[in-house]
């Protein structure tokens, strides 16, 4: 079965391509390489022994999207990762984010709506919950006003898919709300490749570990949490990738209970920034140079998932511990720096 993975050379996309190939799916990747590299294909081949088909173009080019579906009329499912994801940049350039993340989604859905049966998995985010009132966060927690245009593109994306599913019964979609993805494939053949100074915690930690960054700033030590630092649900990217395959199989098998469904994808365990640092120190045997500084604007205090729905309905559960995920991130960082 042929699966289209947009953004398939990115961080989560590439790990999902590997898991799809492991399950025997044929993968076609569309990626514009705006935040990835063609070299990722070599990493995928090193792991699976199979080179996915790769087409380099920007999904904003509507005629190319139309042409793609004309040439590939037998797509059994689409997993849509391609999107811009820098929160700060989205505040500076909102229209770029709406064009990149919403425009491309609409073009894809227009093509899928014309198909006899279409299966679609969307990359959403726990950011849609904002600071939820109750922990752990269930899928029924209210969606709060987005803190950034990036976050808004995830909320709007979900609404656009939901509205389309209402009028296109042949379209089946699942939105996966990721908590905090981290880590790398255990082979260290693929992993996260942030451009410039990492904005996310884990790549900053591992870059500090290899000496690329002098000091980690811990954003805020006065939050109302046990150690004063923010709490997140860090999920190993391989576990997250497997959730996509399970969700896709649910749609392909016709086992979904509605043609639009939403699932949290996390571990169910919250870890503080200081706990993440300790985990790094344990798995690397290195001391990390860090300093508690002011809070980062826009950060919420605590977010971790209630994963009951994914566990019971999807039959998926995160397997890796924080230390295992951290070790994989560290192995990858060391490999790319050597
Ligand atoms: C952010 C986005 C989220 C997005 C995710 C992608 C916001 C509000 N949320 O999540 O929508 O899906 O990235 O991975 O921007 N931290 C430090 N020092 C650092 C970097 C981070 O202390 O140098 C802290 C942060 O304050 C936070 C935690 O580490 O408490 C995790 O931060 P980060 O990795 O940036 O993820 P989120 O902000 O949770």
Q: What is the pLDDT of residues 56-73, one digit of tens each?
A: 999 999 999 999 999 999
**186, containing H or E segment:** none
pLDDT over 90 at 338, yes or no:
no
pLDDT over 90 at 20, yes or no:
yes
Per cent of the chain over pLDDT 70 is 100
Nearest-angstrom CA–CA distance, 297 and 262: 28
Q: Are 33 and 6 within 8 A, CB to CB? A: no
Please tell me the distance between residue 248's alpha carbon and the centre of ligand 1 in angstroms: 28
Phi, psi dihedrals of residue 153, rounded to the nearest 5°: -65, -30
- Tens of pLDDT, residues 251-277: 999 999 999 999 999 999 999 999 999
Q: Residue 37: its pLDDT value, please? A: 96
**291, containing H or E segment:** strand 290-293
Nearest CA to ligand 1 atom 28: 201
Binned at pLDDT 50, 70 and 90, residue 6 comes out as: very high
Nearest CA to ligand 1 atom 30: 230
Q: Are 240 and 247 within 8 A, CB to CB? A: no
Residues comprising the chain, all counted: 338
Q: Residue 50: its pLDDT value, please? A: 98
- Tens of pLDDT, residues 280-296: 999 999 999 999 999 99
Least Cα distance to 107 among 129, 80, 128 occurs for 80
- Of the residues 107, 150, 260, 304, only one is catalytic, namely 150
Q: Are 136 and 162 within 8 A, CB to CB? A: no
CATH of domain 201-232+268-337: 3.90.25.10
**293, containing H or E segment:** strand 290-293
pLDDT over 90 at 48, yes or no:
yes
Nearest CA to ligand 1 atom 14: 180
Please tell me the distance between residue 200's alpha carbon and the centre of ligand 1 in angstroms: 5
Q: Are 229 and 102 within 8 A, CB to CB? A: no
Strands (E), 169-229: 171-178, 180-182, 216-219
Please tell me the distance between residue 298's alpha carbon and the centre of ligand 1 in angstroms: 10
pLDDT over 90 at 95, yes or no:
yes
Please tell me the distance between residue 201's alpha carbon and the centre of ligand 1 in angstroms: 6
Mean pLDDT of 172-197: 97
What number does the ligand 1 atom closest to the CA of 88 have? 15
Nearest CA to ligand 1 atom 36: 200
Residue 44 structure tokens = 């995928």
Q: Are 233 and 268 within 8 A, CB to CB? A: yes
Q: Is the CB of 125 under 6 A from ligand 1?
A: yes
What are the percentages of helix, strand and coil residues in the chain, rounded to 5? 40, 20, 40
Q: Residue 253: its pLDDT value, please? A: 98
Overall CATH class of domain 2-182+234-265 = alpha beta
Q: Residue 70: its pLDDT value, please? A: 98
**Known catalytic membership, residue 150:** yes
Q: Is the CB of 119 under 6 A from ligand 1?
A: no
Mean pLDDT of 7-32: 98
Nearest CA to ligand 1 atom 10: 180
Residue 304 structure tokens = 């971790």
The C-alpha angle 65, 71, 73, rounded to 5 degrees, equals 95
Q: Is the CB of 217 under 6 A from ligand 1?
A: yes
Q: Residue 258: its pLDDT value, please? A: 98
Q: Residue 159: its pLDDT value, please? A: 98
Q: 264: buried, middle or exposed (CB in 10 Å: 19+, 13-18, 0-12)?
A: buried
The domain ranges of the chain are 2-182+234-265, 201-232+268-337
pLDDT over 90 at 26, yes or no:
yes
Binned at pLDDT 50, 70 and 90, residue 244 comes out as: very high
Whole-model pTM above 0.85? yes
Binned at pLDDT 50, 70 and 90, residue 186 comes out as: very high
Q: Is the CB of 271 under 6 A from ligand 1?
A: no
């Amino acid at each position: 079965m042929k699966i289209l993975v947009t953004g398939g050379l990115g961080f989560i996309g590439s790990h999902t391509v590997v898991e799809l190939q492991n399950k025997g799916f044929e993968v076609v990747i569309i990626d514009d390489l705006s935040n990835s590299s063609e070299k990722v294909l070599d990493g995928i081949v090193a792991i699976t022994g199979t080179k996915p088909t790769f087409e380099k173009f920007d999904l904003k080019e509507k005629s190319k999207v139309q042409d793609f579906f004309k040439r590939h009329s037998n797509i059994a499912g689409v997993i849509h990762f391609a999107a811009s994801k820098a929160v700060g940049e989205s505040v500076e350039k909102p229209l770029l984010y709406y064009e990149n993340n919403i425009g491309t989604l609409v073009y894809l859905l227009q093509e899928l709506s014309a198909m006899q049966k279409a299966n679609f998995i969307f990359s959403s985010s726990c950011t849609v919950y904002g600071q939820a009132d109750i922990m752990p966060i269930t899928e029924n927690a209210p969606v709060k006003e987005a803190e950034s245009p990036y976050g808004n593109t995830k909320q709007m994306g979900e609404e656009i898919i939901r509205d389309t599913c209402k009028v296109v019964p042949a379209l089946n979609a699942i939105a996966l709300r990721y908590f905090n993805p981290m880590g790398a494939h255990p082979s260290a053949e693929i992993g996260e490749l942030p451009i410039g100074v990492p904005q996310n915690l884990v790549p900053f930690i591992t870059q500090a570990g290899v000496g690329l960054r002098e000091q980690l700033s811990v954003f805020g030590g006065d939050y109302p949490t046990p150690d004063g630092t923010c709490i997140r649900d860090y999920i190993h990217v391989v576990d997250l990738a497997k959730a996509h395959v399970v969700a896709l199989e649910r749609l392909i098998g016709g086992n979904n209970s509605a043609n639009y469904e939403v699932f949290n994808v996390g571990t169910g365990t919250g870890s503080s920034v200081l706990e993440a640092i300790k985990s790094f120190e344990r798995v690397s045997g290195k001391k990390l140079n860090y300093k508690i500084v002011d809070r980062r604007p826009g950060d919420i205090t605590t977010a971790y998932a209630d994963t009951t729905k994914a566990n019971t309905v999807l039959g998926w559960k995160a397997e890796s511990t924080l230390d295992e995920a951290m070790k994989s991130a560290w192995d990858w960082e060391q490999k790319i720096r050597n």
